[in-house]
């Protein structure tokens, strides 16, 4: 149930993004099928790209891509605080404490791929009417 909730929330975010894009582009007053499918293709593609890239960004963060940057910034800002003991004395300690804290990202990527597939369907319909 918990996983289904994550998928539904991610799907709702994608649909909201798609709706805002088609609303901004004025699809509700459009009468030509070619322009409607063009707008839908663009909207689904943008939402799908944002979700897929967001999921892949979480994946790269899980693998430690940004660990050195985050550790460096925490150490830098820690120098300006009064009476603050550093949470992690060394980068190795920081990396070890982060190794167990992986964020799940599959539902974001799969939902994004669904939106990209919907964009492909809209593109095929666009080509049919073009």
* Pairwise pLDDT comparison (54 vs 76), residue with the higher score: 54
- Please determine, for residue 84, whether its predicted confidence score (pLDDT) is greater than 70: no
Count the Cβ atoms, other than its own, within 10 Å of residue 94. 20
pLDDT band at 99 (very low <50, low <70, confident <90, very high): confident
- Please determine, for residue 13, whether its predicted confidence score (pLDDT) is greater than 70: yes
- Token reading at 75: 């150490």
* Pairwise pLDDT comparison (107 vs 87), residue with the higher score: 107
Length of the chain: 130
Which run of H or of E encompasses 43?
Answer: helix 33-62
Helices 2-24 and 33-62 meet at what angle, rounded to 10? 140
Supply the pLDDT for residue 17.
98
d(CA 120, CA 59): 25
Supply the pLDDT for residue 100.
81
- Range in 13-17, 97-101, 104-108 the model is least confident about: 97-101
pTM for the structure as a whole: 0.86
To which residue do tokens 């430690």 refer?
64
Supply the pLDDT for residue 80.
81
Any idea what the Cα angle at residue 45 is, between residues 42 and 47, rounded to 5°? 110
């Amino acid at each position: 149930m918990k996983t289904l909730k994550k998928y539904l929330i991610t799907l709702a975010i994608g649909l909201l993004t798609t709706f805002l894009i088609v609303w901004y582009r004025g699809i509700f007053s459009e009468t030509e099928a070619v322009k409607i499918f063009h707008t839908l293709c663009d909207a689904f593609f943008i939402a799908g790209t944002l979700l897929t890239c967001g999921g892949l960004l979480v994946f790269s963060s899980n693998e430690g891509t940004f660990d050195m940057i985050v550790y460096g910034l925490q150490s830098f800002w820690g120098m300006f605080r009064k009476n603050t003991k550093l949470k992690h004395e060394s980068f190795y300690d920081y990396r070890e404490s982060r190794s167990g804290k992986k964020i799940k990202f599959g539902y974001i990527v799969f939902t994004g791929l669904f939106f990209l597939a919907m964009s492909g369907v809209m593109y095929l319909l666009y080509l049919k009417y073009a």
